[in-house]
Amino acid sequence: MQKNAIVPYILIMAFGIGLIFFLSLEGVGNEAEIAEEHAAEEGGGEAAEGEGGEEAASGDFDPAATAEASCVSCHGSSYEGGVGPSLVATELGQDEIEEILINGKGTMPPGLVPEENVAAMAEWVLSLE
């Protein structure tokens, strides 16, 4: 009789493990969707740019505001790493950072920084200490 009492618990545990597995698959391969969402948020017009803080009042690009909006979720609030690697005192050069910002790398989607602002963003990343 005790054997039969254990079966429901095993079934519940198996269901829970299966549910976790299938939910984890939901996020796999969504890099393109994430990039599109970011592009849609950024391309929402002048009001969206002002709300996101990515451009200063004068219309100049603000790398710190862009990083706050797009980078902290993966690189951490102090940019010392999280899901993504640390950006602080990186060993990458200007060209390598620009390449990653344009084309993405690993789970980082491309296009998070407008191409005309990639050089300024790369310089800002290199300034982090």
Over the stretch 87-104, which tens digit does the pLDDT of each residue have?
A: 999 999 999 999 999 999
Q: In this structure, is residue 48 part of a structural domain?
A: no
Q: Residue 26: what pLDDT?
A: 60
Angle between helices 118-127 and 94-103 (to 10 degrees): 130
Q: Which residue range(s) make up the domain with 116? A: 73-127
Q: In this structure, is residue 45 part of a structural domain?
A: no
Residue positions counted in the chain: 129
Q: In this structure, is residue 113 part of a structural domain?
A: yes
The annotated binding site for heme c is made up of 71, 74-75, 108
Q: In this structure, is residue 81 part of a structural domain?
A: yes
Q: Residue 47: what pLDDT?
A: 37
pLDDT, greater one: 28 or 34: 34
The annotated binding site is made up of 71, 74-75, 108
Q: Which residue in 15, 122, 34, 121 sits closest to 83, CA to CA?
A: 34
- Judge whether 110 and 102 are in contact, CB under 8 Å: yes
Instruction: Indicate the average pLDDT of the chain.
Output: 79
Q: In this structure, is residue 94 part of a structural domain?
A: yes
Q: In this structure, is residue 111 part of a structural domain?
A: yes
Number of domains in the chain: 1
Q: Residue 11: what pLDDT?
A: 86
Runs of H (alpha helix) within the chain: 2-26, 31-42, 46-52, 63-70, 72-75, 94-103, 118-127
CA distance linking residue 53 with residue 9, whole number of Å: 51
Q: In this structure, is residue 101 part of a structural domain?
A: yes
Q: Residue 16: what pLDDT?
A: 85
pTM of structure: 0.56
Give the pLDDT mean for 97-115.
92
Q: Residue 20: what pLDDT?
A: 81
Instruction: Name the CA dihedral angle for 118, 124, 125, 126, rounded to a multiple of 10 degrees.
Output: 110
pLDDT (tens digit per residue) in 58-67: 568 899 999 8
Q: In this structure, is residue 107 part of a structural domain?
A: yes
Provide the CATH number for the domain around residue 104: 1.10.760.10
Give the pLDDT mean for 36-42.
67
